Amino acid sequence: MPVSDFELVEAWSQVLALSGVQAGQTVTVLTSSDTNAQTMRTAILAARARGAIVNRLDLLPVNGGTSLSRDPLAFVGTTPLTGNRAALELLKASDLVLDLMTLLFSAEQHEILAAGGRILLAVEPPEILLRMVPTEEDRQKVLAASKVLRAAREMRVTSAAGTDVRFALGDYPILEEYGFCERPGRWDHWPSGFLATWSNEGTAQGRIVLDRGDILLPQKSYVQEPVVFTIRDGYVTEIEGGLDADLLKGYMESFNDPEVYAISHVGWGLQERAHWSVLGLYDREATIGMDSRACAGNFLWSTGPNNEAGGTRDTACHIDIPMRNCTVMLDGDAVVRNGKLVNGTEGGQ
């Protein structure tokens, strides 16, 4: 259903308030050719209403002739900021950057955050933003789960479909996504509501089996038949199955980079307002699939870069794979059991 400007301004007002935007602060709205016009327009109105000094920085798109998809996460690392020092300095001088373009996995995003700036990514359609407007309760839920994850040294994931994989933990930071950025140097994504970390390099071992209805991103497709991944020493070494497996292998091979097979972040969804079925209701170019990533009780794992966590792997291919009906255990205690959150998010028995 269409969203009124009034509703979206109110939503932005709540997000900006949670992000601590105050009169006199500088908010820069970063846009490109595929930025949603209503999202941009209402963000500017809400920021001005809070007394912020608002800039709009519009940059020409890149990667169009390289990426195999129009999804902004189909080819990561190189952005319109790459080599553009003048634009970068404006963003570094801003208190808050509203990223309506997508800077994820870029060196420039790290530089902005290191300078003390805050970045909030918001590229989903307005109706999805409105349905998952973040709250303080979202933050508390993610932080409670983060405390459990931070103390863990092993994640084991199993499923009735045949998944049994282990990840050693502790070398990398925790990714806490709850939809707003209230402190200097923080990045977040609206909408969201999930938790992740990166396994220690070379430690992931086991087997992951995608069942019917699990999701591949950026393909934005529900798996129609099982896909089996063999994981050895932190890398996917085999992908077996039918057509879904063949198409995924062809996509990954197109990058001609062995690092596309490395295990990236692993975690689970916490957002009760996210819905697994939503992906099937949208054209593939209309959404990046945040419902799938954040849906409460899903196990989300990925392949490719780890530079978001301070690592050195910056391959352009990033695959996110949300899965249903998994059990996620931290040091033997379940935080997700058969696709359902345990004890609300705070660990298991």
Mean pLDDT, range 197-221, rounded to an integer: 97
Task: Return the pLDDT at 345.
Answer: 47
- Position 287 pLDDT exceeds 50: yes
SS3 292: helix
Confidence of residue 299 (pLDDT cuts 50, 70, 90): very high
- Position 348 pLDDT exceeds 60: no
Burial class (CB in 10 A: 0-12, 13-18, 19+), 114: exposed
- What is the rounded end-to-end Cα distance, in angstroms, of the chain? 42
Q: What Å distances lie between residue 53 and 39, 80, 221, CA to CA?
A: 18, 23, 41
Could you give all domains of the chain from N- to C-terminal order, each with its CATH number?
5-131 (3.40.50.2300), 136-345 (no CATH)
Mean pLDDT, range 162-172, rounded to an integer: 97
Mean pLDDT, range 212-226, rounded to an integer: 97
Contact call for residues 90 and 24 (beta carbons, < 8 A): no
Look at the pTM and tell me if it is higher than 0.85. yes
What is the spatial distance between Cα 268 and Cα 223, in angstroms, rounded to a whole number? 19
Task: Return the pLDDT at 344.
Answer: 53
Task: Return the pLDDT at 71.
Answer: 87
The β-bridge relationship of strands 118-121 and 96-99 is parallel
* Cβ contacts of 147 within 8 Å, gap of 6 or more: none
What is the spatial distance between Cα 283 and Cα 221, in angstroms, rounded to a whole number? 11
Give the CA count within 13 Å in the CB-facing half-sphere of 88: 18
- Position 72 pLDDT exceeds 50: yes
Confidence of residue 346 (pLDDT cuts 50, 70, 90): very low
Q: Which amino acid is at 147?
A: K
Burial 230-247 (b: 16+ CB within 10 A, else e): ebeebbbeebebeebbee
Q: Any idea what DSSP says for residue 308?
A: G
Q: Which amino acid is at 14?
A: Q
Task: Return the pLDDT at 38.
Answer: 98
What is the spatial distance between Cα 270 and Cα 66, in angstroms, rounded to a whole number? 34
Nearest to 193 by CA among 268, 129, 119: 268
SS3 7: helix
Task: State whether the Cα torsion 38-99-90-88 is positive or negative.
Answer: negative
- Which residues make beta-bridge pairs with 333? 330
Task: Return the pLDDT at 169.
Answer: 98
What is the spatial distance between Cα 86 and Cα 58, in angstroms, rounded to a whole number? 13
Nearest to 91 by CA among 120, 51, 125, 61: 120
Contact call for residues 110 and 311 (beta carbons, < 8 A): no
What is the spatial distance between Cα 24 and Cα 52, in angstroms, rounded to a whole number? 5
What is the spatial distance between Cα 290 and Cα 102, in angstroms, rounded to a whole number? 14
Task: Return the pLDDT at 204.
Answer: 98
